[in-house]
Amino acid sequence: MRKAVAFTGPSGSGKTTLIVKIAQELAPRKKVAIIKHDPKDKARFDTDGKDSDRFFKTGAQTVVISPTRTTFFSHKTSAIDEAIRLLGDFDYLFVEGLKELPLPRIAVFRNAIDESYFGFTQAIAIDETIDLKKCKIPEGVDALNLNDPRLVLEWIDRRAKEV
């Protein structure tokens, strides 16, 4: 079974770091693929320290989709289905961004929760900078510890979509 889940959240919230930690947790025994949405067409695949570089260094197949190209070393844009096909064999697929994609979604927050994400989120991953007692989390949205990738992976195993 190939499991897929998406991650979303404001810039700087920790999405990439969380995906990297989960991918590293899985890497010894599972095949991981990652797709990053690049709506502003600014990603550079081989730049040290950038999201795509960090994803690739986990050992995961990595695709970056932007308005003018798909970085799987292709010079045309691709639909998500085509990107999944290009990835080939994998056990887990993590998608960063692409809010309209019908996948279970984890929104990542630090310091503050942006309630505009609740309409397409099934879980939030937060750290100690957020006091849940002061937040109004909708019923059915799970709260996960951003700093516990194993707990997040358990949620993924229960809620991921088969692709």
Where residue 156 sits, what CATH number does that domain have?
3.40.50.300
Going by pLDDT thresholds of 50, 70 and 90, the confidence category of residue 110 is: very high
Is the confidence at residue 74, as pLDDT, over 50? no
Q: Which pair of structure tokens corresponds to residue 85?
A: 């096909």
Q: Is 71 helix (H, G, I), strand (E, B) or coil?
A: strand
pLDDT digits 0-9 by tens, 127-157? 999 988 888 899 999 999 999 999 999 999 9
Tell me the percentage of the chain whose pLDDT exceeds 90: 50
Mean pLDDT of 24-30: 90
Mean pLDDT of 30-55: 74
Give how many domains the chain has, as a whole number.
1
Range of the domain at 16: 3-162
**Against a cut of 0.85, is the pTM above it?**
no
Task: Mark 48-76 as b/e (b = at least 16 C-beta within 10 Å).
Answer: eebbbebbbebebbbbbbbeebbbbeeee
Give the H or E element holding residue 158. helix 149-159
Residue type, 154: E
Going by pLDDT thresholds of 50, 70 and 90, the confidence category of residue 43 is: low
Mean pLDDT of 5-32: 92
CA distance 122 to 104: 6
Is the confidence at residue 124, as pLDDT, over 60? yes
Contacts of 143 (CB under 8 A, 6+ apart): 123, 124, 126, 132, 137
CA distance 92 to 157: 9
